[in-house]
């Protein structure tokens, strides 16, 4: 990534690894909250499943928003961090 790339974060690798681990922990927390409220039920109707997915997405969005504000990042930079962390196996 280059500095003019909207996904670029100009930070040391160690800091980006730390942030990536925090981001994954927040995603896991959001998933756990959703499952606590709505355990997986394969017999549920499609509308109930859609409602559960939507609620899970809103929970994840809340945590992502807090993360972007904490580190003063754009959504593109968070996506870039997630992609880089995944590719690098952090």
Mean pLDDT over residues 66-86, rounded? 95
The packing angle between helices 13-37 and 46-71, to 10°, is: 150
Number of independent structural domains in the chain: 1
Taking the model in full, what pTM does it have?
Answer: 0.80
Distance of alpha carbon 19 from alpha carbon 76, whole angstroms: 15
The pLDDT confidence band at residue 1, using thresholds 50, 70 and 90, is: low
Mean pLDDT over residues 36-60, rounded? 84
Q: What does the radius of gyration of the chain's CA atoms come to, in whole angstroms? A: 16
Does some domain include residue 42? yes
Does some domain include residue 58? yes
> What residues make up the domain containing 54?
13-88
Does some domain include residue 1? no
Distance of alpha carbon 63 from alpha carbon 68, whole angstroms: 9
Does some domain include residue 32? yes
Does some domain include residue 82? yes
Q: What is the pLDDT of residue 54?
A: 86
Q: Is the pLDDT of residue 21 over 90?
A: yes
Does some domain include residue 66? yes
């Amino acid at each position: 990534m280059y500095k003019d790339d909207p996904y670029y974060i100009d930070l040391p690798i160690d800091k980006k690894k730390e942030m990536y681990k925090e981001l994954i922990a927040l995603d896991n927390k959001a998933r756990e909250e959703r499952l606590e409220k709505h355990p997986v039920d394969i017999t549920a109707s499609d509308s109930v499943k859609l409602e559960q997915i939507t609620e899970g997405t809103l929970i994840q969005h809340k945590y992502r928003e807090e993360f972007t504000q904490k580190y003063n990042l754009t959504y593109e930079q968070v996506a870039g961090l997630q992609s880089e962390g995944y590719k690098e196996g952090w």
